[in-house]
A and B are shown apart, each in its own frame.
Chain A
Amino acid sequence: MPKAPFVGKAVTLRPFEIDDSKALRDYLNHPELMGRRHIPWGYPEFLPLTEPQVHGLLERWATEERTVVLAIDAQVQRQGWGLSGEASQASQLIGHAEFSWGWDPHAPSVSVVIDPSQQRKGYGSEALVLLLEHLFAFTPAHNVSCWIAEWNEAGLSFAAANGFQTAGRMRRVGMYEGRPFDLIITDLLRPEFQARMAERGAAEQAQE
């Protein structure tokens, strides 16, 4: 039986629904995400988003051509309350993952955004692998790029840890904390991803 698409061990990728707007707004407005939310051109990069803006964003994601934006859900530990105080697991929206191919599906770009309170738990890497598995299995993608602001050290480490190589930069794309900054371009080729997955599969088999 084929593996269910977009379902991993810790995260699931699914379409956004209108009901997600509050949770989406909560993490998009987290101060640590300002400037690296990967939202469409025209939305303020460094300001909190209003409720109507988030509704507009969901509408735009749902209708934008040649772009797919998926919600990332994870089983998150929730603090218990009441007399027992027992902790429980619940599915929670923790971020979004996007791929976009502009005019050429041979060379799409990807991005993954995780709620800062849920980072460093492996969710982002798992979501990225699910996205890449889909791109390489169901589209003619060959070069997948990921564009990251040079000040976003966590994003750059994330891309490198997932096999993306530095392809250069687009210089002076905007201002950040009083100075111009560049976008770092990273990319990953189909055979490189396939080799990583084969290595990972062999390592997992050896452990079993």
Chain B
Amino acid sequence: MPLEGQLVILREQRRDDLAFLTSLQNEPQTQAWSLALPPDFTDVMYEKRYEAREFSYDPDEARFVIVLKETGELVGQIQYTGLERRWSAALGIITASKFWGTGVALDAQEVLLRFLFCELGLRVVRLFSHSGIPRAARLAEKSGFQVSGRMRQSIIKYGGLHDNLVLDLLREEYFARHPELADTLPAL
């Protein structure tokens, strides 16, 4: 069963998605780190990356395709990386620009956060962004993330210097925002 929200479902990547994922990566505006990578990804590169994934009972990351429930359109990709079991992971999200401002990114983010806190039992979820893309930090803040670290002038983007932002969301902060969910894990 896919992970499901009000507007979107998150499901595994499929071979048919690869052209969409390549185009998503090649649209500079939609890269999470915006212009950090050259927009020259090919379908073959993505296919190799897709083929390289092996089955594991102990994965430390997951990548999901975001699909619009109503139409089945592909919206973007959301992932977590650097999983420390029962402790932490970092979240990243990319959505096609035509879906910006529609609420689907926030819905996808909430679906993944629920999985990370309720199913994986994490104590904190992190997110890294920079001051050159305030839209990304604003999206994170809508789910309760707060900017806890700001490294000055440590990112070069758009021909200038920007601050590197460390954002995080603690388990108790997440559950305080979601009274409909009960947290039965004892506090540390």
Residue positions of A touching B, CB distance < 8 A: 104, 106-107, 142-143, 145, 167-175, 179-180, 182, 185, 187, 189
Interchain CB contact under 8 A, B154 and A168: no
Quote the shortest CB–CB distance from A163 to chain B (angstroms).
13
Instruction: Please name the 8 residue pairs, one residue from A and one from B, whose CB atoms are nearest each other, closest first.
Output: A168-B149, A107-B154, A143-B154, A172-B124, A185-B149, A167-B151, A171-B168, A180-B188
The DSSP consensus for interface residues of chain A is strand
Interface hub of A145, A170, A189 (most chain B Cβ within 10 A): A170
**CB–CB B151/A171 < 8 A:** no
Contacts of A173 in B (CB 8 A): 88
Tell me which residues across on chain A come within 8 A of B126, comparing CB atoms. 170
B144–chain A nearest beta-carbon distance, Å: 13
Which residues in chain B, 153-182, are within 8 Å of chain A measured between CB atoms?
153-156, 161, 164, 166, 168, 170
Complex interface: chain A residues within 8 A of B161 (CB): 142
Report the bound CA distance from A176 to B188 in whole Å: 11
Nearest-Cβ distance from residue A21 to partner chain B, whole angstroms: 29
Give 15 CB contacts A-B under 8 Å: A106-B155, A107-B154, A142-B154, A143-B154, A143-B164, A145-B154, A169-B149, A170-B126, A170-B149, A170-B166, A172-B88, A172-B168, A172-B170, A173-B88, A189-B153
Complex-state Cα separation, A167 to B165, whole angstroms: 10
Contact in complex: A106, B154 (CB < 8 Å) = yes
Residue of B nearest to A179 (CB): B188
B102 in contact (CB, < 8 A): no
**A142 surroundings in chain B (CB, below 8 A):** 153-154, 161
Residue of A nearest to B173 (CB): A171
- How many Å lie between the Cα of A173 and that of B82 in the bound state? 13
Q: Is B150 an interface residue (CB 8 A)?
A: yes
- B61–chain A nearest beta-carbon distance, Å: 15
